[in-house]
Amino acid sequence: MFVGSRTQLIREREREREMENVLSQSPSPSPAGEIDARVSSLFVYPIKSCRCISLSQAPLTPTGFRWDRNWLIVNSEGRGLTQRVEPKLALIEVEMPKHAFAENWEPEKCSNMVVRAPGMDALKISLAKPDKIAHGVSVWEWSGSALDEGEEASQWFSNFVGKPCRLVRFDSASETRPVDLNYAQGHYAMFSDMYPFLLISQGSLDSLNKLLKEPVPINRFRPNIFVDGCEPFAEDLWTEILINSFTFHGVKLCSRCKVPTINQETGIGGQEPIETLRNFRSDKVLQPKKKPQGKIYFGQNMVWKDWFGNGMGKTIGIGDSVVVLGKLSSPAEAST
């Protein structure tokens, strides 16, 4: 008993030292134009709150990577479902056609998205836009109409979730969803939480995992762009970066909900890593001069600046350089 208690005490002291190291870290400035990081992974989530697809290259669109959060599962009231209330959505896998992420690729009549989940037959969803309209669809602050993917999809998702559901697709021909004008005017999203892109660094994930009893993978945080080679939480300060030759603006730190506590392999929730993040990534810690709102931050929300006049046909890929063009001096200055 004594040996076990002593071992536990040693581990607790090690975690305390790691926490002190993390809190003492602050990203240092780098000369403008130097490569600050490189893209190590790219992710899209065609159906909101379902599993990601990992890519070697991703086509850019004004609303995010192509196919990202184009679809949304809604309940009988038309309200979007997420893992916050239906954690088993983490078990739904999505497969897109082989060339769906190639530059300038367009779907053919036979092109399908394939959806799979434990205990369910595979569901094929045509990439041809459906004719049926679903009215009264809402996700967070937005409400409008969307394209209804039909009865077969509705039955499939209803059976898996265990309550009446429908699958809808964002109708970009008739709807727009502006991001918060206080942070990025003239930019739009589809069914993402708020902004077209979320960027996180390997250094930040490593720094967090040093404090956890059980490390977590990056899929807990559901980023689009994962970069490596920079200091932990350097992305907090990035206001303007180049990836390949495309300019992105860091507009707002990403406040985290309960989704990072859900194991994306099992759909089962817990307490971590939010409890640990609260100790060193809360607004109270990062911005002590502001009135605390009880928020926890991990990652940087971004918009693609160059889309004006460029449209589609642009891609970024793994290995692309990340050059910081503009940055803040401390997280206390970051938009939240």
Are 129 and 209 found together in one domain? no
Q: Looking at the domain assignment, is residue 31 inside a domain?
A: yes
Confidence of residue 34 (pLDDT cuts 50, 70, 90): confident
Give pLDDT, residue 319. Answer: 98
**Cβ contacts of residue 272 below 8 Å, gap of 6+?**
212, 213, 214, 216, 261
Residue recorded with tokens 């994306």:
264
Q: Looking at the domain assignment, is residue 307 inside a domain?
A: yes
CB 301, CB 244: distance < 8 Å: no
Are 222 and 329 found together in one domain? yes
Establish how many alpha carbons lie within 13 A of residue 2's alpha carbon, considering only the half-sphere containing its beta carbon: 0
147 vs 6, residue with greater confidence: 147
Quote helix, strand, coil % in the chain, to nearest 5. 20, 30, 45
- Is the pLDDT score of 260 beyond 90? yes
Give pLDDT, residue 110. Answer: 94
Q: What is the tens place of the pLDDT at every residue in 297-319?
A: 999 999 999 876 555 559 999 99
Interatomic CA distance for residues 35 and 321, integer angstroms: 6
Are 30 and 80 found together in one domain? no
- Mean pLDDT across the chain: 91
Confidence of residue 2 (pLDDT cuts 50, 70, 90): very low
Domains identified in the chain, total number: 2
- Is the pLDDT score of 320 beyond 50? yes
Are 257 and 286 found together in one domain? yes
State which residues form the domain around 120.
69-169
Q: In which element (H, E) is residue 19 found?
A: helix 2-24
Q: Are strands 238-243 and 71-75 parallel, antiparallel or unpaired?
A: unpaired
Question: Domain boundary at 169, 188, 220, which?
Answer: 169
Q: What is the tens place of the pLDDT at every residue in 177-224?
A: 999 999 999 999 999 999 999 999 999 999 999 999 999 999 999 999
Are 156 and 79 found together in one domain? yes
Give percent of the chain with pLDDT exceeding 70: 88
Q: Looking at the domain assignment, is residue 34 inside a domain?
A: yes
Give pLDDT, residue 17. Answer: 56
Q: Mean per-residue pLDDT for 108-112?
A: 94
Give pLDDT, residue 15. Answer: 55
**Of 321, 304, 320, 316, nearest to 103 (Cα)?**
316
Give pLDDT, residue 306. Answer: 83
Question: Domain boundary at 169, 196, 217, which?
Answer: 169
**What is the C-alpha end-to-end distance of the chain, expressed in Å?**
47
- Is the pLDDT score of 250 beyond 80? yes
Confidence of residue 335 (pLDDT cuts 50, 70, 90): confident
Confidence of residue 114 (pLDDT cuts 50, 70, 90): very high
Alpha-carbon dihedral 320, 325, 329, 334, rounded to 10 degrees: -80
Q: Looking at the domain assignment, is residue 45 inside a domain?
A: no
Q: Looking at the domain assignment, is residue 275 inside a domain?
A: yes
Q: Looking at the domain assignment, is residue 59 inside a domain?
A: no
Are 302 and 158 found together in one domain? no
Question: Domain boundary at 119, 148, 169, which?
Answer: 169
**Cβ contacts of residue 148 below 8 Å, gap of 6+?**
130, 132, 133, 134, 166, 167, 168
